[in-house]
Every structure is written in C-alpha cells, then in structure tokens.
Structure 1
Amino acid sequence: MSRLASLAPRQRVLVTVSLIALVAVGCGVYFWSKGGSASGSTTAASGNPSTSGGEDSGVGILLDLAKTAVSEKRLVAPAGSNAYEFYLSVLQLDPQNKVALEELHESFPVASADVERAINDDNLDEAQRELSLLREFDSTNYILSLLGGKLDAQRQLQIRQDEARAAAMQAQQQSAGNGSML
C-alpha cells in the first residue's frame, strides 16, 4: 500500500493541493527568471524607457510604483514606499533613465517642502531621513543646505528644551528633598 493511499482523505487533498501549489510557484519562478515575454511587452507598451535583459521589467515595475507613489502624494515618506526611493532605484539599474531623472527634478520642490514640514512638526528623525534621500539625488542643492541648517537649529533648540525640562525636574526633586528633611 502506498504512503499516499494510507493517508486520510483530508490529508490526501491537502498533500495534493500543496504539490500543485509548489509546481505552480516553481513554474512562475522559472518563467520570471527567464524574463518572460509578457513582462517585456508590458514595459514596452507602457512607454517606459527600457534597458536590456532582466533589468527591463525591474525598471518598468519601479517606474510604475513611483508613479503610483507620486499620485498618492508619497514623495519621500513613508520609508521604503515612496517615489524618491523608487526613482533612485531605477537610476541604480539605469543611470540615464530620463523618466526617473525628470520626475525627480519635477517633484523636488514639493519633496523639499515635505522635509521642511517634518522639521516644523518636530519630527526630526524623519526629516533627517527625508533630507538624506533628497541629498542622494542632488547633494549640491542650496535648498537642501538651508534645510540641513534648519534641521540642525531645530535639534539644538530641542536639546536646550530637554535640558531646561531636566533642570526643572532636578530642581523640583531637590526642593522636595529639602522639604522632607525639615
């Protein structure tokens, strides 16, 4: 008696479905690794500039993700799912990609305003991350220098406020300690 036949009917169904799923995943991975004709024609049909080989579909996918992020106003945030990161990834695959370069230039004023908003909201770690992202694209831009100065000033102000609060708490604890000794 075979091992499969000795399993209960439910277990046989589960094993069969699992094997079918495994084969389907294997075929999908094989097709994807070969850069199947369907993904290449989709990129070409979308009008996205392409590169050669397997990078072709990667660039197209990243450009589509970036376009979606722009339409959803996710230029520099959240981390890992924003237009700037997608466009910069495109440029890693295709450094001369005109679509990515143009979109990065066009969205720069709004993206830098997002960084300034994060600074004004005292979300300084996020502002630092976003500023670093913009500097990855254009490290010589004077607006980024100004934002960097504003971020540093805001950090200094926050440090002074924290020190003042700590000093006030320490003074309060000392006065409470002196009052209990009397």
Structure 2
Amino acid sequence: MHQRTSRAHQRGRGVMATIVLAFVLGGGLIAVLYAWSQRGVADAAPAAVPAPPVPAAAPPASIDERAARAERAMRDTRLFAPPGDNAFELYLRVLDADPANATARNALGDLFPYALIYIEERLAAGDASDAARMLALMQRADADAPALPRLSTALAELRAAQAPLPPGERGAIPTPAARPEAPEPAPAIVTAPADATPGSPPAPATVAVQPPAPAPQPDPAAPAVAPTALVAATAPQVLSRAQARYPVIAMRRRIEGQVELEFTVLKDGSVDDVRVLASDPAGVFDREAVAAMQRWRFAPQRAQQRARRVFDFRLD
C-alpha cells in the first residue's frame, strides 16, 4: 500500500515537472519569435542619415584684403564691371570698413570722371539697368556731385522712352515739318514793238526779267562782331613749364581731351588761384592740368594779372 502511494506521488511530480517545462519552453519560444519579429522591423526601417555638419562662417575680409582686391581690379582695368568685382565697388567696400582710408578716397576721386563717361555710354546704348547700378554707386561715393542730377534726369528719360505703352494707346504720329515755300519768280514784263500796225502779223515779243534785288551790303562804319570765343590773356614770359601727367586710366582707355585754365600770375612770377574754365571730357584731365599749372613760373612783373592757358592731352 505504501509503495503504491509513493509511485502515485512520483507520477504526479513528474506530470507537474513536464507541465512546468512545457511552460518554460513555450515562453522561451515566444520570446525568440518576438525578438526575430522586432529584428525584421528594425531591418525594414530606413537607417537614420546623420545631418551634415554646418560650415563655419567665413571671417569678414580685413581692410588690407579689400584694398588688395580693389588694386588688382584696377590693374586688370575692371573699373566698373562686372557687378560686385570692379575697382569702383571694391574701393567703396574699403570705405565701408574704414571711412578715413585715404587710398580708397583718392582712387574713387580718380575714377569718378570715368564713371560719368561710363554712365553716359550706357545711356547712349540704352542699358538703363547698368546705368542705374553705376549711378547708385556714384551716389554712395559722393552724393553732392554736380553731375548726378543731370545723369538722373537722363536715366529717367531713358526709362520713360523704354516703357511700353498701355494696350490700345498709340503714340502721337509726328506730322511732317512744313517745307519752306519756294519764292515766287519775278513777274516777266512783256513789251510789244513800237512799229506794230493793226492787221500785221504779231512780232515776237521781247521778254525782260527783272533782276533780283541786290543783297544789302554791310555798313563799313559798323563795328565788326568778334566770334564768341575765349581769347586768352597775354601772360608774361614763361621761365619754367611743368608737364602735366597723363592719367593712367585715360591712357589705357585711349581718351584724349583738353582743359582751359584761368589763373593769376603774382608779382614774383608764381601762379595762384587756378580755375578750370572748360574741359573736354569733363573732369577727366582737370586735376592733372591744375596741378601742372600751379608749378609753372613766370618772369617777375610789377603787378599781378590774370591769364589763360589750354592744356592739350593727346596720345601719340
């Protein structure tokens, strides 16, 4: 009896162990299957792309670097183009960093007359966009330049001429100019011969044409009118002449011209109060002509006097 009870007890313990083992194996199988499923999901998901590194901001160019770029543009004759990489604009950037930079101010002063010529060329070519760009740069360099209002007006006129007309509106058709009427010929005077008798065949008539009225002769007593030209005053004897320097930019662009100056010769023969009366092209050679004239020396005289000279700038 006791042996039967012990065997039943052992059989029960074996069944419980089998059940526990089944649960353990089943839980492990479930864990393995779950892990495999998660691995498949992870493999199917796209890999995260790392963000590219943000480049560090370049340090601003120093004043020396800006000046070096402007000088290279000047040597390469990139005076006003291309936009953003020309000497005029680069020297303006030097002044933005150092408003008291003398080199940049002198360079812009030398370039200013040629900028006027450049804008006039762009306006003549109908390029309003480039003319407006350069005009804005000139206003930054010298807002009080006397030529700016004239150039602004010319630019506005060009834009108005290039603006398209509204639909259905036509411009006025210009009427042809009236042609001057030709003067009427002098009436012919027909005279019959004195010995004509009634009933005789008519003799050929004599046609006499009145000669035109003579042109009025000038009165010899009236004073002659001199042409409206500037006559230079006679200056004393010249002791030394200083040659005017030919601007480098004008030489490279093959620009010629002249400058007429008026100045005062002092008693000791030195020159003072030099003024520009006329220049062509305007402003291109003025500075060099004035600088040369101030170095001229004349023979001493009893009283100071005003005189005029013309400097011609010509290329061989």
**2:68 alignment partner AA:** D
Indicate the structure with greater helix content. 1
C-alpha spacing 1:122/1:58, structure 2 compared with 1 (3 Å)? same
Are 2:137 and 1:120 aligned? no
Q: Deviation digits for residues 109-149 of structure 1, max 9, x if unmatched? A: 11121111111111101110110011001011111211111
**2:141 alignment partner AA:** F
Specify the alignment match of 1:20 in structure 2. none
Structure 1: gaps (5+ residues): 1-25, 34-54, 169-182
Are 2:100 and 1:89 aligned? no
Tell me if the contact between 1:77 and 1:130 (Cα under 8 Å) persists in the aligned partners.
no
The Cα of 1:73 is off from its aligned counterpart by 2.4
C-alpha spacing 1:68/1:166, structure 2 compared with 1 (3 Å)? farther
Specify the alignment match of 1:79 in structure 2. 83
Distance (whole Å) between structure 2 residues aligned to residue 141 and residue 154 of structure 1: 21
Specify the alignment match of 1:64 in structure 2. 68
Are 2:140 and 1:143 aligned? no
Q: Deviation digits for residues 67-106 of structure 1, max 9, x if unmatched? A: 1212222222211101122111111111111100000001
Distance (whole Å) between structure 2 residues aligned to residue 111 and residue 124 of structure 1: 15
C-alpha RMSD over aligned residues: 2.8
Indicate the structure with greater strand content. 2
C-alpha spacing 1:166/1:128, structure 2 compared with 1 (3 Å)? farther
3-state DSSP of counterpart to 1:163: coil
The Cα of 1:166 is off from its aligned counterpart by 7.4
**Sequence identity (%):** 29
- TM superposition score normalised by structure 2: 0.33
Instruction: List structure 1 segments (4+ residues) > 3 angstroms apart after TM superposition.
Output: 164-168
Q: Deviation digits for residues 45-81 of structure 1, max 9, x if unmatched? A: xxxxxxxxxx8x7212111211121222222221110
Q: Deviation digits for residues 30-56 of structure 1, max 9, x if unmatched? A: xx97xxxxxxxxxxxxxxxxxxxxx8x
- TM superposition score normalised by structure 1: 0.56
Specify the alignment match of 1:176 in structure 2. none
Distance (whole Å) between structure 1 residues aligned to residue 149 and residue 75 of structure 2: 27
Specify the alignment match of 2:114 in structure 1. 110
Tell me if the contact between 1:66 and 1:86 (Cα under 8 Å) persists in the aligned partners.
yes
Specify the alignment match of 2:239 in structure 1. none
The Cα of 1:150 is off from its aligned counterpart by 0.7
Specify the alignment match of 1:15 in structure 2. none
Distance (whole Å) between structure 2 residues aligned to residue 73 and residue 111 of structure 1: 13
Structure 2: gaps (5+ residues): 1-55, 171-316
Question: How many equivalent residue pairs?
Answer: 116
Of structures 1 and 2, the one scoring higher in RCO (CA 8 A, sep 6+) is 1
Q: Within 5 Å, which residues of 2 pair with 1:1-182? A: 58-159=62-163, 162-163=164-165
Larger radius of gyration: 2
3-state DSSP of counterpart to 1:109: helix
The Cα of 1:167 is off from its aligned counterpart by 5.0
The Cα of 1:157 is off from its aligned counterpart by 1.5
